[in-house]
Each structure stands twice: as C-alpha cells, then as structure tokens.
Amino acid sequence: MDSDSQHIDSEVVLKEARRRPTTRRPRRLGGARDSVRQDNVENSENLKLFGTRSNQPLPPAILYHASRFWAVLIGIDAYQSNPLHGCVSDALMMKELLMVKFEVPEHRIQCLLGSNDPTPGSSTIPSRANIINVFYNLIGNAEIQRGDNIIIYYAGYGSSYHCSQQCAPNSTCRKAGVCPIEAMCPIDRDTVDPDSRRWIPDISDREINALFTQISRTKGHKITFLTDCCYSGGMSRDSSPPTATRAMAPTSHSDVDDMLRAAHTRLRHLPRYRSVLSPDWQPDMSSHVLVAACQDYQTARESGGGEFTWSLVDALTSGAYNQGTTYQDLADLLNRSHTQTPSICGDHMNEPLWYLNTATGPPTMPTQVGTQSSDKLASLGFKVGTKFGQIP
C-alpha cells in the first residue's frame, strides 16, 4: 500500500462518499432482466435461466483462492408490511455467482432468506437475532484465517432515524456526516419478541460497524459489505411494470433509542468496544469496504430484482474485472443512472478486490478461474463480458 493510503481520514472519506454526487452515466437495466422474473424463488433452477449465452471471447484465466472466501447472504422479501419480491432471488443469484465464478465451497456460504413461506424458529430466517448471531459467529470461527475474504451481502429494506438525541448540533458525529442513523430492517421488525416481550427494533449502522470492527480484529480487514437497499424512508410502487424502492419508514413501536440500547446491551462485553450510545460516535472505516446501491439522496429500486445486484453480477462476470481491479474500479464498472449511483467507501477501497495478499502466501493451491468457470457461467445463463441493458 502506498504512503497516501496509510493516512486516510475515515471521517472525510465517509462524509464525501455520502454527500458528493458522482459523475452520472445514464443507463437502463432491462432486456436480460425480464427473463428472471419468477414466482417461485425457492426453485434454484429458475436462477439458471437469466441472461443469454454468448459466443464472445472469454476473459483470460485468473487465480482465486476459493478456500479463502466466506460469505453471508441475506435476502428478505416477506416483510409483514409492503413485502418485496426480488431480494431472495438476488441473494441466491449472488450465491450462484460465488460458487461458479469464484468456486467458493457451498458450506462456506451462509444464507438467511426471508421467503414467503419461512420455517418458524429456523436459524436461517433473517430475524434480528439470527442476523446478529451470524456476525458474532464470524468473530469466533476458527476456520476463518486472518486475511480471508469475508463477503456480507444484504438485500431488503433500509430505514433512516433522526439522531438529535444522540448527536448535539456541534458534535463530532454530526460533523462527520453519520446522522441520521441508518438501519437494516430484519424480517421480524416491529413484532414482539416472545422471550423479552419487547418490540423488536431495526439493526443500526452503528451496531453493524461495531461488529465489523470486532471481526476485523481477529480476521483482518478483507470484509466487503454489499447492500442493495436505501434509507430514504419512503415507498413507491407502480402497477406495470412492478417496481419498488428498497426503503421503509422507521419502526412504529420502537424508536432510535430502543434500537441503540438493544445494540449496546449485547455489544458492551466486547473488547475495546466503543459505545454506540456515545454522542460523539464515529464509524470505523478501516475494518471493511462498503459497496452501497446508491447515494444517500437516491433510492435503490427493484423490478424483478435489484438494479444494483444485477449491475454487480454483470460487472464481476465481465472481462473488465481482472486481478488489478480495486473496489474503486468496481464503482466505475457498475451501471449508473441519474436516480441510482452506487457508492463505495472505506479506508481500503483502493486495494485489489477479493484477491489473496501474496505477501502472506496461500494456505492451499489456488483455483484457476477462467475458461472453465466462464463456461459454467455461460451454462447458467451469464452473458460473459456483456453489459445488461447497456445503450450502445
């Protein structure tokens, strides 16, 4: 890493990523997407029908270390209010991508899926408790070595909470641009916990950030957080074609204080924990890189699937993605529009994306990914090296 990247101001990076408009390149996402609209997302075979096969030259072979990938994929459709329709299929598409292109073993991919027919009490339901438990398990998983790639993907609703009580007008956290507080919406939000008899709150970005910090202390900073949601707090739908904004209003029965107290109660026992209740709370952007679906002032939309996820899969299966691709380069590969421009931030966003640090050496022989895996991708319907809906 060069000397400049060793002295990155996390507050400035986060503030700029949130507030600065990015160059806009209008594109439309369509065509290939229409073929994947499906009623039964539980049938994984349906995921193999999207896109079209291509006779274009395949990208050159690239070396990945599949044994050093771990993933948590969260997709939630079955909210009690205003259910979504493409999040579970998006998560399953990401799983297929990881298993086929990166040859990640299936047992190293954990899926929490909120479909229309969830199994009550299952540990794979994306409830608040299960999501937090999965993150905690990453901290103590002895199989995950320091420097392994950990990919956390979330597709579902996001929400936004005012934090006037947590941040005084002149406080550091308000100046850093971390207010309002953003949150991930679990499937059981605004329901009563059967054990505590309390209303279940959302999961704040502060709680997630604190957990990522703990994970990075034991496993390293190769953590990528992919979010196909937004936090504008509103919903809009059209009847034809069906579209939705992946943002929801705050919970009705619990407020921001309940959400932060729930986080603090569980996090306070962690070593070197920085209280999420602090009026001068600041994010740790050295622990992970965030790749978000849109800017703060924009919305993340779905129409049979999330536009961001489709663009992400497209970029990662194109010939433009190679061993020198950084997180920041990925932003340039993603489809953009005047309504949705992906955002990337983190101290390590200028590092190569998902490649082994050769200085540490691999624990096992690398897997060659190129012609063979590209053939597999084509057999699943990925149109390798072609932009979905790109305007010539």
CATH number at residue 249: 3.40.50.1460
Does residue 301 sit in helix, strand or coil?
A: strand
Whole-number Cα distances in Å, 226 to 196, 218, 220: 31, 21, 17
265 Cβ contact partners less than 8 Å away, ≥ 6 residues apart:
none
**Locus of tokens 């270390």:** 65
Q: What amino acid is encoded at 277 in this protein? A: L
Query: Which residue in 80, 82, 76, 159 sits closest to 125, CA to CA?
Result: 76
Quote the distance between the C-alpha of residue 257 and its chain's center: 25
Least confident of 179-188, 277-286, 316-325: 316-325
The pLDDT of 234-254, averaged and rounded, is 57
> ∠344-299-176 over CA atoms, to 5°?
50
Highest mean pLDDT, choosing among 29-38, 62-71, 96-105? 96-105
Helix axes 128-140, 205-219, angle to 10 degrees: 20
Highest mean pLDDT, choosing among 2-6, 167-171, 192-196, 336-340? 192-196
The pLDDT of 232-245, averaged and rounded, is 40
Residue at 184 is within a domain: yes
Domain of 191, in residue numbers = 50-379
161/184 Cα distance (integer angstroms): 11
The pLDDT of 76-105, averaged and rounded, is 93
The pLDDT of 182-188, averaged and rounded, is 94
Please count the structural domains in the chain.
1
Residue 99: its pLDDT value, please? 95
Question: Is the distance from CB of 178 to CB of 209 less than 8 angstroms?
Answer: no
Residue 260: its pLDDT value, please? 93
On the question of pLDDT at 168 being above 60, the answer is no
Q: If you average pLDDT over every residue of the chain, what do you get? A: 74
- Reported as a single tens digit per residue, the pLDDT across 337-378 is 667 778 889 999 999 988 644 434 333 333 444 434 444 444
Residue 294: its pLDDT value, please? 77
The pLDDT of 26-50, averaged and rounded, is 37
Structure tokens at 201: 């709150």
Residue 280: its pLDDT value, please? 83
31/45 Cα distance (integer angstroms): 20
Residue 342: its pLDDT value, please? 84
Least confident of 21-25, 135-139, 272-276: 21-25
Residue at 239 is within a domain: yes
- Reported as a single tens digit per residue, the pLDDT across 256-315 is 899 999 999 999 999 999 999 988 888 999 999 999 887 766 666 666 678 889 889 999
Residue at 5 is within a domain: no
138/4 Cα distance (integer angstroms): 30
| DSSP per-residue string spanning 323-380 | TT-BHHHHHHHS-B-SS---EEESTTTTSBSS---TTT--SSPPEEESHHHHHHHHHT
Residue at 17 is within a domain: no
The pLDDT-based confidence of 215 (bands split at 50, 70, 90) is: very high
Does residue 378 sit in helix, strand or coil?
A: helix
pTM of the model: 0.74
377/392 Cα distance (integer angstroms): 24
321/237 Cα distance (integer angstroms): 34
Residue at 220 is within a domain: yes
Residue at 10 is within a domain: no
**Locus of tokens 């799983």:** 95
Residue at 32 is within a domain: no
On the question of pLDDT at 203 being above 90, the answer is yes
On the question of pLDDT at 135 being above 90, the answer is yes
Return the higher-pLDDT residue of 380 and 192. 192
Query: Which residue in 289, 292, 334 sits closest to 315, CA to CA?
Result: 334
Instruction: Give the DSSP H or E segment for 327.
Output: helix 327-333
Residue at 144 is within a domain: yes
**Locus of tokens 């937004």:** 230
Residue 297: its pLDDT value, please? 66
294/227 Cα distance (integer angstroms): 9
| DSSP per-residue string spanning 66-110 | GGGEEEEEEEE---SSS--SSHHHHHHHHHHHHHHTS---GGGEE
Give the end-to-end CA distance of the chain in Å, rounded to a whole number. 37
